[in-house]
Every structure is written in structure tokens, then in C-alpha cells.
Structure 1
Amino acid sequence: MTLARRIAGVAAGIGLAAAFAVQAQAAEPVKFGICYDLSKAYTFISPQVLQGARDLATLTNMKGGIEGHPIEMVVQDHGNEPQRGIECYERLKREGVMIFDMLSTPVSIAVLPRIMQDQNILLQSLVGRGDAVDGEVFKWVFPVGPTYWGQAANDIEFIRQKSGGKLEGVKVAFVYLDYPFGQEPIGILKKLAEKEGFDLQLFPVPLPGNDQATTWSQMRRFQPDWIISWMFSNAHVVASREMKRNGIPISKYLSVNWLNEVDIRNIGPEAAAGLKRGTNVAGGQEVPIIAEIIDKVYGAGKGAGDRKAIEDVYYNTGVAIYSVAFEAVRKAIADHGLPLTAEKVKAGFESLKEFDANGLLAPVTVTASDHGGGGKTRVETWDGTKWVPETDWLSAYTDVVWEKVREESSKFAKDQAKQ
């Protein structure tokens, strides 16, 4: 064999090996570690969110995956217990997962330091630390969407608009489940009350929210112009009954995003007419991506659960969270190539600009400094049969919100530096 033929043979072998390597990389699945509470506190939310996420993954895989990579959703129950969440993280990390989602504030907070140390990705939409939107401190955490601080600020902006542009003298009641979730917006609301001059009164409700008689008797005496509610599930139903008993119009009730169609049915669609909620996710089945899932996934008999769950905004929330995550991974591969790494996924998130999944969620622009994407929400009103938007997507009092964010994130950074 001549030297030229030997060189040609070696070159062909190298080329073939490279082609196989590229094919192997292209076939490597993108794994998402989903450690959810599927058995205890959040079972009224997590199954629908998970079903939406799985259905979106199925649809994406039917179209060839993310840049040729199939999606693999690795699911485990943590029962809303921080230690079980940590165990889930450690196990899935050993299985090669680099992107995690806990859908629980206590579990997210428990896992976060390990995520930061390992430089993996933590999805933290609508739960977890409010200051984690500070990407300069929480480099590996992506709470894309509004924090509870941002939601509360946007609610106050809605009330300002409805009050002729001025809040001075307006009576605002804040009714909340008396534990960390419900207490989260209090600091922001107090700052805004001081800034804008409205009368803020706090009305704590003991867990699980079934005993509210005294709360609403006190509310009747206060005679609020608006009621901001930080409760969920049956607590909304109890609140609606107490409002009726005390002669308080339900049109004054403005809920946090955790109010869904099941709650409306339990209140009664007609009785709930006028009730409001803040949200960053569009409800209904007319949203293009939801309609496509119904057609292609459920039409092919490949749905991850009961078809009726698609009528729930929590289902849309799962699709929204993972629309953002899948787009970040797509951009990571398209812009930075293979192999996929957490660093590249981080860059993918930080390059999202006005992404709204074709109308499914409030447009998000994520940067290295703002991992929340802008914190936009809108207020919707239940008209007796459907949700009707009251506002455009908005993000208000961002100076006040970010002052709080940086105050808390700097404390975290200082505490970490001491360890």
C-alpha cells in the first residue's frame, strides 16, 4: 500500500469516527430533573403542571426534539420535604441531570446552595427566593416570571389605575395564609403604602385556611376598597362564602396567581363573577401551543393525563415554564454547540428576548443581571364563564422591588462568603 493510500485510509477512518461522534451527540437526550410534591401539600397544583410539562416534551419530541436531542423528563416525588428534595437532587445529578425543578419554596431554598456550588441549573418559576432574580448573585438560578414581590407591586399598580391614578386614602386589605408563602409580599406592600399613601391593613388566616369567620368580620368593619389575597385552593372557596355572608362584593377580591378553574367551580361560576387574579400565564385552550398539544398529542393518544386537565390554568403554567426552558436549551445548542453544558444552558437563558411562547405567557427578557425576565403580570376578571384580561402585561414599581431584591441578595452573598 502506498503512503498516499495509507494517509487517505486514516483520514477516512477519522472522518467516519467524527461522524459517529456527531450522531451520538445528536442522540444524547436532554434530561430535566423534576422533583415535585406529588403526594402531600401541593397536589392541587403539581399534577397539572407536570402534565403540561410532559405533554410539551412529547410534542417537542414528535417534532424531532430540541435541535435533534430528545427530551427526557426524570420525575420523583419529594412530598414538599426539603431533605427528600436534596436526596432527589443528588440522585438525579449522579444520573447526569444538570437542569432541575422543585416547584416548592422550602425545597428550592434547601437545594439552592448545592445547585450554586455544583454550577447546575435550578428552574424556580413562581416559587422560591424572591431575590433569586438577581443573576449577579444567583448565577445558576432562573426564577423566570414574576416573584411574589413583583406580583404584589403589579397588583397595587392595577388598583392605582382603577383609583383614578392616585392611591392616597384608598383602603387596601391584604388577606393571607399565615406562613412564609402568604407573608412574602408584606414588606413590599408596606413600602408601597408608605410611598403612595394608601391605608394597608393585614388579615392573617391560620393554615389550612378553613377558619376565616373572624377574619372577614374584621374585614367588614374595615370596609376595604380592594382586597389582595395570598391564599390558594379551598381557602379561596371559604373566603368567597365569608365575603357573601358579610356583604362584601367579590369584585373587590384580587388573588395571587394560585387560583384556578377548580376553585372557580367550587365557588360557583356565577357566584365568582367579578373575582380577579394576577397572572403571567394566559389561560384557556385557544392559545396556539395548547391547541397544538390537543391536536397532535391528545389526538394521537399520547397525552400524559386526563384530557380535562387542559382546561386548567395550572396546566398552561407547566407548558409555560417548560416552553421557556426548552427555548433556553435550544438557544444554548444553536449558539454554542455541543456538548451541552450547564454553562451553555445558562447562556441560553440569558439570551432570551421578549419570548412569550406565541402568546402563552408574559414576554420575558432574561439577562445576566435579571434572571426573572422582567416580572410582568396582568390582572384578569372572571366574567361568569371565562377569564377576561383587565390590563396589558405590566411591571410596576420596579425600583422598589429591585431595592428589596438587592437588599436580600446582598445578605445571601455575605453569608455565603463567610462559609
Structure 2
Amino acid sequence: MKRTVLSVLAGLALLAGGAAHAQAQNSIKFGLCYDLSKAYTFVTPQIVQAAKDYATLLNAKGGIEGHPIEILVQDHGNEPQRGIECYEKLKREGVMMFDYLSTPVSRAVLPRHMQDGNVMLQSFVGRGDAVDGDVFKWIFPIGPTYWGQMANDVAYIKSQHKGNLKGVKVGFIYPDYAFGQEPIPVLKTLAAKEGFDLQLFPNPMPGRDQAAVWTQIRRFNPDWVISWNLSAMHVVAAKEMKRNGIPMEKLIVVNWLNEVDINNIGAAEAKGLKRGTNVVGGKDHPLMQQIIKEVYGAGKGAGDAKNLDDIYYNTGLAMYSSMFEGVRQAIKKGGWPLTPAKIKDGLESLRNFDANGFIAPVTVTAKDHGGGGKTRIDMWDGSKWVPQSDWTAAYTDVVDQVVKEQSAEFVKSGK
């Protein structure tokens, strides 16, 4: 009798193991190799949470075309070598789609993606020339790149000077590593084209001491300051601006500034600050309302519900709306099982896609992996963000020129 029971239990275990294996073989795996411990912890938890929550919502409805979604997350600490290790590990586990949310790590891992033919999501970060699908066949910077955002910032400044930038003084402060350096080629090209006086102000990492650089900016006496800071760097910059008598109204920051940063600066102190905005914030979108009701209402949220008030959570939903829809198109067009080539084809099928209303519509093609992503300028009025411009993609000819120059250099040098 004992042997019979043990035999039955063993059989059940084998069946359960077989079912789990079948489920794993049937699932769609997304690899999130993120900095969860060092420089980017101000944003990565919210984006991981959004990706998991959206996957939970879709899985409750049958997944993507009947296939469950798996979100695999691993820390790379913003270290390129650890990013490479994460890629290799998850690749062995059957992942074909990866995201790194770090410009230095994305750049380091990119050659392996190109060699292996695995898909890299690079929304809102990474190298701007990756929109060139002819060269970067497996890299998808869906939405606005740093280059596009910078071009749009300059276009906004031009609109504030009656269409004439000659003699206008623009300072650019940035952390002196890959993220901060990324938009400089476009900025220099636009300065030469429009005739504005550009000065670059690199600041050493980790950016907690900006006293010297803001003294230099004060001496330059700019009409505008464009800041490519991150997290606590924004708070330090705001204090230094005040100390140096530079009005907050002169400042335009990169998209990586959120409600936490505003609170740390002080809602009143931040009044007049402007942000290049990629993603619509707030909880009013239908997808947000669904997640609040069906995921958090059922006690299945992947993190603290307070993060749903953070624009970085919306950013995660925008990013994974694009990836999940691309995979859905891949299965509809190419069937199961998925392959990187099918996923690539699916992403290149996105037409006028607004990521569930979180971004301006994009159209992704084999030649254009960015989709013509648009941004807008928002201003903090002391209590809320107020749009100052329409969604726009400015200087597309200039951006395209720099894209072609840089992608051609990549082809030649591999860097």
C-alpha cells in the first residue's frame, strides 16, 4: 500500500513538473536587466512594478494571444559587465526580448544583440542613432530618443524668442558619462544651424557637488539652461540655481524628473521649472483605471500603490504597452512559437500606436525603429504640470542627419 501511494505521489509530481515545463515552454519571457541597487533606483522599481502589473492584468485575460507573460528581473547595478552577464544568463533561459534602462549598459550589450539577433527595447534611453533600423536591426528605441527630446527643447526655446535664436545663450549641464553626453551631437549641430551661443558644463558623477559648475553657469549668464540631471541631482541643481540668482523659469530639464523630485525641491521653489515630457502622467487613463480596479483591487499589485501616482509608473506602462503589442502582432502574423525575427516583424508593424494613450502616436517600420516619437514641454506651476507646447518632433532633418552620421560610424568602427 505504501509503495502504491508513493508511486501515485511520484506520478503526480511528474505530471506537475511536466505541466510547469509546458507552461514555461508556452510562456512569453521578457528580460529586465535593470539597475536596482545604484544610480537608477529612483526609477527602476516603478517601471518593474508597471511591467509586472500590466502582465498580471493581461495574464488574467489569457495573456498575449493565449500565452502567459513572464517578467524576469535581474540587477546590473548600472555596470556594463554585469549587464552583459545578465543578458547571457537570461538568454540561456529562453529570453529573446531584453531591456536595460541604462545608456552605458545598453551601449555595452548592444553588439551582442546585433550578433545574436535578439531584440533590445531601448525606449527613452540609449543611443539615438539606434532608430536607424537598416543598421540597428534588433534595437528598438520606440518613442522619443534623447536626440529628439533635445531638438524639441531647442525648438521650444526658439518659439520663446520669436523664431530667432541668434545670440541667445544656452547652457547645457550634464553628468559627464554616457547618459549626459548622448544629446551633445544634436545640440552642437543645432547651435551651428541656429546661431545660438552654446556652452557645455560637464559635472563629475555622482553629481552631489555642483557648486563649481553653477558658478561657471552664473558667469556665462545664460538665457536658458538645459539640464540632463537625474534624481537627487535635480534637487542639488535647484538649490545651486537659487544660490546663484538664476531664475527657475530659465530651466528645462530632461524627462527624468518626477513628483518625488518636485517634493524634494519644494513645490513652491520649483515653480516655473520646465520638463521635456515623453509620457502623460496621472491616473485618468483607462489602462490605469483597469489596473487600479482589477490588479490592486484584487490584492495582486507588484508594489506599493502610491507608485501609481508617479510618472515613472506610467513610463513603464508606455514601454511595455509597446512591447506587448509588438509581440501580439508577431504571434498574429507569424504564429507560435515566437522567434526574434517574428518579434522584430511584429514591432515593425506598429502603426499610429500611442501605447494605450501614454505617448504621442508612433509608427515603427523596418527603417525607423523609433517611430517619429514626439515630446512636449510641461511647466510646473506650483501645484501641477501644465503643457506649454503641443506634442511635436522638431528639426527632424537635423536629427536624421546626425543619426545617419553616427550609425555610419557604428558600421565602420563597431562603436
TM-score of the superposed pair, with normalisation by structure 2: 0.91
- 1:366 — aligned with what? 364
Does the 8 Å CA contact 1:106/1:128 hold for their aligned counterparts? yes
How many Å apart are 1:26 and its aligned residue? 12
Does the 8 Å CA contact 2:318/2:356 hold for their aligned counterparts? no
How many Å apart are 1:214 and its aligned residue? 2.4
Once residues 363 and 286 of structure 1 are traced to their aligned partners in structure 2, the CA distance between those partners, rounded to angstroms, is 18
- 2:266 — aligned with what? 268
- 1:107 — aligned with what? 105
Once residues 25 and 354 of structure 1 are traced to their aligned partners in structure 2, the CA distance between those partners, rounded to angstroms, is 33
The residue matched to 2:246 in structure 1 has which SS? Answer: coil
What letter is aligned with 2:337?
A: P
- 1:39 — aligned with what? 37
- 2:225 — aligned with what? 227
The residue matched to 1:380 in structure 2 has which SS? Answer: strand
User: Structure 1 residue 284 and structure 2 residue 270: aligned?
Assistant: no
Q: How does 1:96-245 map to 2 (within 5 A)?
A: 96-245=94-243
Q: How does 1:330-345 map to 2 (within 5 A)?
A: 330-345=328-343
Identity of aligned residues (%): 68
- 2:12 — aligned with what? none
Tell me whether 229-238 or 176-185 shows the greater mean CA deviation.
Answer: 176-185
Once residues 372 and 279 of structure 2 are traced to their aligned partners in structure 1, the CA distance between those partners, rounded to angstroms, is 14
Q: How does 1:243-254 map to 2 (within 5 A)?
A: 243-254=241-252
- 2:66 — aligned with what? 68
User: Structure 1 residue 326 and structure 2 residue 324: aligned?
Assistant: yes
The residue matched to 2:152 in structure 1 has which SS? Answer: helix
How many Å apart are 1:215 and its aligned residue? 2.2
How many Å apart are 1:402 and its aligned residue? 1.3
How many Å apart are 1:74 and its aligned residue? 1.1
Does the 8 Å CA contact 1:282/1:360 hold for their aligned counterparts? yes
What letter is aligned with 2:268?
A: E
What letter is aligned with 1:125?
A: S
How many Å apart are 1:27 and its aligned residue? 8.0
Does the 8 Å CA contact 1:133/1:372 hold for their aligned counterparts? yes
How many Å apart are 1:295 and its aligned residue? 1.6
Distance 1:95 1:27, change over 3 A: closer
Does the 8 Å CA contact 1:25/1:338 hold for their aligned counterparts? no
How many Å apart are 1:71 and its aligned residue? 0.5
Structure 1 unaligned segments of length 5 or more: list them. Answer: 1-23
How many positions carry a matched residue from both structures? 394
Does the 8 Å CA contact 1:27/1:68 hold for their aligned counterparts? no
How many Å apart are 1:156 and its aligned residue? 0.3
User: Structure 1 residue 296 and structure 2 residue 294: aligned?
Assistant: yes
CA RMSD in angstroms, aligned pairs only: 1.7
Distance 1:25 1:72, change over 3 A: closer
The residue matched to 1:238 in structure 2 has which SS? Answer: helix
How many Å apart are 1:128 and its aligned residue? 2.0
How many Å apart are 1:378 and its aligned residue? 0.8
Once residues 72 and 209 of structure 1 are traced to their aligned partners in structure 2, the CA distance between those partners, rounded to angstroms, is 36
How many Å apart are 1:25 and its aligned residue? 9.4
What letter is aligned with 2:183?
A: P
How many Å apart are 1:310 and its aligned residue? 1.1
How many Å apart are 1:212 and its aligned residue? 1.7
Once residues 330 and 310 of structure 1 are traced to their aligned partners in structure 2, the CA distance between those partners, rounded to angstroms, is 25
The residue matched to 2:172 in structure 1 has which SS? Answer: strand
Structure 2 unaligned segments of length 5 or more: list them. Answer: 1-21
Once residues 74 and 244 of structure 2 are traced to their aligned partners in structure 1, the CA distance between those partners, rounded to angstroms, is 44
Distance 1:295 1:176, change over 3 A: same
Once residues 327 and 25 of structure 2 are traced to their aligned partners in structure 1, the CA distance between those partners, rounded to angstroms, is 15
Over residues 161-212 of structure 1, what are the superposed CA-to-partner deviations in whole Å (9 max), with x where a residue is unaligned?
1211221122211111122211222221111111111111222222222222
- Of the three residues 75, 79, 82, the one matched with 1:81 is 79
What letter is aligned with 2:400?
A: W
The residue matched to 1:100 in structure 2 has which SS? Answer: strand
Over residues 325-344 of structure 1, what are the superposed CA-to-partner deviations in whole Å (9 max), with x where a residue is unaligned?
00001111112222221111
Does the 8 Å CA contact 1:289/1:360 hold for their aligned counterparts? no
